[in-house]
Structure 1
Amino acid sequence: MNQQQIALVKETWSTVAALDPLVVGDLFYNRLFTIIPEVRPMFRGDIPEQSKKLLHMLHYVIRKLDRLDDIMDEVRKLAQRHVGYGVQATHYHSVGSALLWTLEQGLGEAWTEEAQEAWIACYTLLAGAMIGASAYEVAAA
């Protein structure tokens, strides 16, 4: 990611973060379960609570995008925990699709081609790190 993309992700995220986290989370999880319904049983807990956790984690990571080295260990540990929930590398594509769709819904006209490209770069970077860490965890198990 370049600095312009980081700035655009942060700027657009501030708009989404100002929305009701339960609404944003509901959009995301409904879309995710439509795309890959087989992951629904992985979410044993309360979806509204899961929505808050998701948005909190996204906010934390996005706030530190310009200091990725500070958070990559945490991103890898998160990925390793996800292995225990049954998350597979193939799920990351669907999660990315659901996230981009949710952002598009939340941003409306602010969802430009440039914003989409910045978010794709961001998600690709983070998902790549998580997939890499997941493969390491699976190999170590």
Structure 2
Amino acid sequence: MVLTEKQEALVKESWELMKQDIPLHSLRLFTLILEKAPAAKDMFSFLRDTDEIPQNNPKLRAHAAKVFKLTCESAAQLREKGEVVIADTTLKWLGSVHVQKGVLAPHFEVVKEALLRTIKAAMGEKWSEEMNDAWAEAYDQLAAAIIGEMQAEAAVSSNPIS
């Protein structure tokens, strides 16, 4: 399903506002992910040796910003392009890294919940159920693209070419 015109407008409007403070919103996203799934910190080399979320960790800040920006930008262009558009090499890399780190499809639901809560907090009074639904649809399409690449990577890994 492609976003409706109204959903696209809601996603783009909220992304424009969130772009003004990516570090704040991206750290909130990762804080929420790790609150919901504390074991996920073991998937990140820069978080393994700590019992808390180090807000000032430069590697966490950089990674969180990259994830948040990629997610939001892919959502913002979804209707225009008709599909999730990420460079093939980036999508293949995402699939490979997610497989290597042991990410499973249910993990994407944790991230989705954290993303929606992050956007809701960022939007304040501008938040609506319509905005929630627009972001949920956009995220689901991005997650499906990454999961598809993970499945392709896993199939190649389990059947190496001789």
Q: Normalised by the size of structure 2, how large is the TM-score? A: 0.77
In structure 2, the partner of 1:92 is 108
Higher mean alpha-carbon deviation, 98-107 vs 49-58, is at 49-58
Higher mean alpha-carbon deviation, 94-103 vs 2-11, is at 2-11
C-alpha distance in structure 2 between counterparts of 1:59 and 1:109, whole Å: 20
Flag the 1:117–1:71 CA change in 2: closer, same or farther, 3 A: same
Q: CA deviation at 1:10?
A: 1.0
Segments of 5+ residues of structure 1 without an aligned counterpart are: none
Contact 1:9–1:115 under 8 Å retained in 2: yes
In structure 1, the partner of 2:74 is 61
Higher relative CO (CA 8 A, sep ≥ 6), structure 1 or 2? 1
One-letter amino acid of the structure 2 residue matched with residue 27 of structure 1: R
In structure 1, the partner of 2:23 is 22
Q: CA deviation at 1:63?
A: 4.3
In structure 1, the partner of 2:119 is 103
In structure 2, the partner of 1:71 is 85
C-alpha distance in structure 2 between counterparts of 1:98 and 1:70, whole Å: 20
Greater helix proportion: 1
1:140 matched to 2:153? The reply is: no
Q: CA deviation at 1:34?
A: 0.8
Contact 2:96–2:153 under 8 Å retained in 1: yes
Segments of 5+ residues of structure 2 without an aligned counterpart are: 47-58, 158-162
Aligned alpha-carbon RMSD (Å): 2.0
Q: SS of the counterpart of 2:105?
A: coil
Structure (1 or 2) with the larger CA radius of gyration: 2
Aligned-pair identity in percent equals: 29
